Each structure stands twice: as C-alpha cells, then as structure tokens.
Amino acid sequence: MFPIVPANSAAVSGNQEGIFGFGDTGGGDSGYQSITNLVSNTGVISTDVAGVGTVRRYLAACEYGEDKGIFGFGSKAPGGSTYSSETNLVSNAGVVASDQAATTGTGRRSPAACSIGDDIGIFGFGYNNVKNSMTNLVSNTGVVASDVSSVGDARYSLAACGYGDDKGIFGFGIDAGGLGETTNLISNAGVVASDVTGIGTPRYILGACKYGGDKGIFGFGEAGPGQTAVTNKVSNGGVVSTDTTGVGTVRNGLAACEYAGNKGIFGFGSGASKTNVTNLVSNTGVVASDQAATTGTARNNLAACSFN
C-alpha cells in the first residue's frame, strides 16, 4: 500500500545544501573576497571557509549537473572596473575549485544565473561599460559556452531563479530606462523569451531562488532611493505575483539559494551597513524574520547557489 501524501505537501526535488560566496566587505580593493559559507539542510550558515579563486564581487552562481554549482563573472581589482569571465566549480560536497580558464563568455559584472533543464545552467545579462543581454549556457560538466545573442532589454543587477520542473526566469534590474521590473522566461533548452511587462516594485541588486520544488521568489533589493524587503513569488507557470510585504532587514546586494530540497534562504547584503543576517523561505514561500547573524563575514554583492 502506498503512503498517503497530503494534498498541500510541497514537493522535495532540489538540492539539500547551499553555498554563499565571494562579495565585498568594503574598504576598496582589499575588501574583495573569495570566502564561502555553506548552508546546511536546516538552513544554518557555517563559519567562513577560506576562499579559492579570484577575489571578486558582483558575480552570479547557479546549479549544474543535478548536484553541483558554479560561480562566475563579476568585477575584480583594481577598482572594480576589470570585468571577469573566470568561473569556479562547486563539487557536490561544497568544495570550490580554483579558477577555470576564462576562455569563453564576455567578461562582465552583475549578471544573473539559474539552473534550467535537467542538469544545465545559464548566466545572462550584465554590465561591462555597456548594458548587455547576452547569455552563456553551462553544460552538465560545468563548461561555460560562448555568448549567445539574447532577446530582452539589456540590463544588469537583476536576479534569476528556477521555476516549474526545468525552467527559469530573469527579472528586475537596471535597464535603459532606469530601474525595471521586466522579466524574461527561460526554456529548458536555455532559450530566453521576449520581455514580459513586470509586476512588483522596480528594483535592482536583489536576490532570487527556487522554493517548493517548482516555484521561485524574488526578494529585497534597492528600489531607488531606499532599500526594500518586499518579495514577489513566481508560480510553477512562470507568472510573477504582486508585492508581498517584506519581512526582515531591508537591504540590497544580497544573494539567495535553495536548500533542503524545497526551501530557500536570502542572506547577507547591505542594510544600514553590511550584514550577515539571513531569512529562511518556507516550502510555501513564506519569508521568516531575521536569523541571528552569528556566523559568516558580513558583506554584499556576493552570489549563492545550491548543491548536493
């Protein structure tokens, strides 16, 4: 006899753990980081793990290969005006590898990334003295492909997350008109659809992650002027909801990832100052109040993804 599953039980289909990495503690070039912090399957943040790879900020990260991750792109010293195309693979045990050769993909900062398909990922958009809309697919072995011309408003400082069983969505950011709320759906083959008029507060340097097995959530960010903690859920059909009143410290420059198979976590960023607070997301998309900021170096403009 098969067990009875409650009708309101959210699916458990994703990775069990997560990782936050890189970012900026302030103080100029010396503040750029490559440290990482693991997220347990109960949403607990570990102490700092010594960094591997080029120190940088304004990068992105996503899952690939079903249980691994990749950090990529960003800006690096001196002055943050050197744009990176380096990537660093994350094993299914959360170990970050040294830089992969930066041979493909236009170096840029402030792109977004998410997993798509059964085991691949995608980086998209960004800035390198001009706004971009190109994308780069990540294979199931962590190889980043060359640029693909994309559709949609060129922009940067946006966010991305998965939804459905195998699709993704880019949303928000800075476009030609300033702060935007435009979204672009991503097929399971990495094809980016044309712009969808956005819903929710226009903002940038926000976070996004998957939750509930087949849904996503955008949250926090800079609404210009002023930071926010509002969130916008993404249905399993890729529809973005109106604003949900924010919970937790208002901030920008944070990151988010999935954990425990069907939950999420927002973490770090800049509020009144750089912080290491985190906010858990339940399997129904409810954002919890701040967890005590007891571990991990406070920083902003970092990235996060899940693994294992």
Give the Cβ contact number of residue 257 at 10 Å.
29
Beta bridge partners of 109: 127
pLDDT for residue 6 is more than 80: no
* Mean local confidence (pLDDT), 154-164: 98
293 contacts 55 by C-beta, under 8 angstroms: no
pLDDT interval class at 11 (50, 70, 90) = low
The tokens describing 64, both together, are 């690939």
DSSP element (H, E) containing 174:
strand 167-175
Q: What is the percent of the chain where pLDDT is above 70?
A: 95
CATH classification at residue 66: 2.120.10.80
pLDDT for residue 103 is more than 70: no
Question: What was the pLDDT predicted at 224?
Answer: 86
Q: By C-alpha distance, which of 10, 5, 9, 13 is closest to 258? A: 13
pLDDT for residue 160 is more than 60: yes
pLDDT for residue 70 is more than 60: yes
With respect to residue 12, please indicate whether it lies within any of the assigned structural domains. no
SS3 31: helix
pLDDT interval class at 271 (50, 70, 90) = very high
pLDDT interval class at 9 (50, 70, 90) = very low
For residues 268 and 136, give the distance between their C-alpha atoms in angstroms, rounded to a whole number: 26
pLDDT interval class at 102 (50, 70, 90) = low
* Mean local confidence (pLDDT), 94-115: 92
Question: What was the pLDDT predicted at 286?
Answer: 98
pLDDT for residue 7 is more than 50: no
What are the tens digits of pLDDT across the range 170-210? 999 999 999 999 999 999 999 999 999 989 999 999 999 99
Q: What share of the chain is helix, strand, coil (3-state, %, to 5)?
A: 0, 45, 55
Residue 116 sits in which domain range?
Answer: 18-307
Predicted TM-score of the model (pTM): 0.95
With respect to residue 204, please indicate whether it lies within any of the assigned structural domains. yes
Phi-psi region of 172 (alpha: psi -120 to 50; beta: other; left: phi over 0): left
For residues 187 and 115, give the distance between their C-alpha atoms in angstroms, rounded to a whole number: 11
With respect to residue 154, please indicate whether it lies within any of the assigned structural domains. yes
Count of structural domains within the chain: 1
- Pairwise pLDDT comparison (14 vs 31), residue with the higher score: 31
Q: How many helices (H) and strands (E) does the chain have?
A: 0, 20
For strand 278-281 and strand 120-127, is the pairing parallel, antiparallel, or unpaired? Answer: unpaired
DSSP state letter for 191:
P
Give the position of tokens 């069990």: 16
For residues 210 and 215, give the distance between their C-alpha atoms in angstroms, rounded to a whole number: 6
Which of 100-109, 191-200, 216-225 has the lowest average pLDDT? 100-109
Beta bridge partners of 307: 17
| Cα-to-chain-centroid distance, residue 197 | 21
With respect to residue 3, please indicate whether it lies within any of the assigned structural domains. no
Interacting residues of 178 by C-beta distance below 8 A, sequence separation 6+: 202, 224
Interacting residues of 98 by C-beta distance below 8 A, sequence separation 6+: 52, 53, 88
For residues 271 and 10, give the distance between their C-alpha atoms in angstroms, rounded to a whole number: 32
For strand 68-72 and strand 75-76, is the pairing parallel, antiparallel, or unpaired? Answer: unpaired
16 contacts 8 by C-beta, under 8 angstroms: no
pLDDT interval class at 261 (50, 70, 90) = very high
For residues 73 and 56, give the distance between their C-alpha atoms in angstroms, rounded to a whole number: 9
Interacting residues of 129 by C-beta distance below 8 A, sequence separation 6+: none
Beta bridge partners of 137: 122
Question: What was the pLDDT predicted at 5?
Answer: 39
With respect to residue 8, please indicate whether it lies within any of the assigned structural domains. no
Question: What was the pLDDT predicted at 2?
Answer: 39
Question: What was the pLDDT predicted at 260?
Answer: 97
What are the tens digits of pLDDT across the range 225-258? 899 999 999 999 999 999 999 999 999 999 999 9
With respect to residue 7, please indicate whether it lies within any of the assigned structural domains. no
| Single-letter amino acid code for the residue at 222 | E
With respect to residue 297, please indicate whether it lies within any of the assigned structural domains. yes
pLDDT interval class at 293 (50, 70, 90) = low
With respect to residue 106, please indicate whether it lies within any of the assigned structural domains. yes
| Mean pLDDT over the full length of the chain | 93
